[in-house]
Amino acid sequence: MSSTSVEQKKPGQTALQRRSKNDIVVDIADLAVSGDVDKTLVTYSLGSCIGVALWDPVAKVAGMLHYMLPESSISAEKAKANPAMFCDTGIPKLFRAAYELGASKTRIVVKIAGGSQLLDAQGTFNIGKRNYLALRKIFWKNGVMVETEHVGGSLSRTLRLEVGTGRTSIRFRGTEEVL
C-alpha cells in the first residue's frame, strides 16, 4: 500500500489518528472523486448509510459517496443544498463528477457497503434496507452492475478505496476484508 492504512494500527490509536495524509475523507452526506493515484478515499461510520465506491481502471479515477437517506422527496431544500445526503440525488452527482475526470460508464467498477440496522432494532423505519433498495433501483434502471457488496446486518463499517489500484476494503469489528 502506498499510504499509511488502517492495518498499521498502533496500540491506543483511533481511526482518525491512523489516517494518512493521502486520505481523502468522505464525510456523512458527502462525496469525493479523485484522479490522484496516490490518494485513498475513505468514509467512516457506515451504519444505515450506504457507501458507494466506484473506480475506472483505465482512467484511474475513483469516487465515493456516503449517503444517509433513500429519497430526496422528503426535503427538496436539503436535497438542493446537499445532493449527497440522498441516494436519488447523490448517485447521479457521483457518476457525473467521475465522468468529468475521464471515467467511462462502461469501465466503472462499483462496490458498496453499509445499509445496516443499528438504531432501529425493531425494524420500524428500516432505513438501511430502504437505502439499499433505492440504490438497487437506480442502478437497475441505469444498467449499472455492482461487483461486490457488504451490506445489511448490524455492523458499522469503514470503506476505503485506493485511487491508483482500485483496491477496496471494509473494516468492521477490528477486521478488514478486501471487497
Q: Is 29 a residue whose pLDDT tops 60? A: yes
CATH number of the domain that residue 128 is part of: 3.30.1330.200
Q: Output the pTM of the full model.
A: 0.85
Domain interval for residue 111: 21-172
Q: Which three cell numbers stand for residue 61?
A: 479515477
* Within a domain: 67: yes
Strands (E), the chain: 23-25, 30-34, 40-46, 50-56, 61-67, 109-114, 148-151, 157-162, 168-172, 175-178
* Within a domain: 2: no
Q: What is the pLDDT of residue 76?
A: 87
Q: Is 138 a residue whose pLDDT tops 70? A: yes
Check if 49 is active-site: yes
Residue 74 pLDDT grade (very low, low, confident, very high; cuts 50, 70, 90):
confident
Share of the chain above pLDDT 90, in %: 72
* Within a domain: 12: no
* Within a domain: 143: yes
DSSP label at residue 84: G
* Within a domain: 47: yes
Q: Is 123 a residue whose pLDDT tops 70? A: no
Into how many domains does the chain fold? 1
Helix and strand numbers (H, E) in the chain are 4, 10
From 6, 49, 161, 170, the catalytic residue: 49
* Within a domain: 14: no
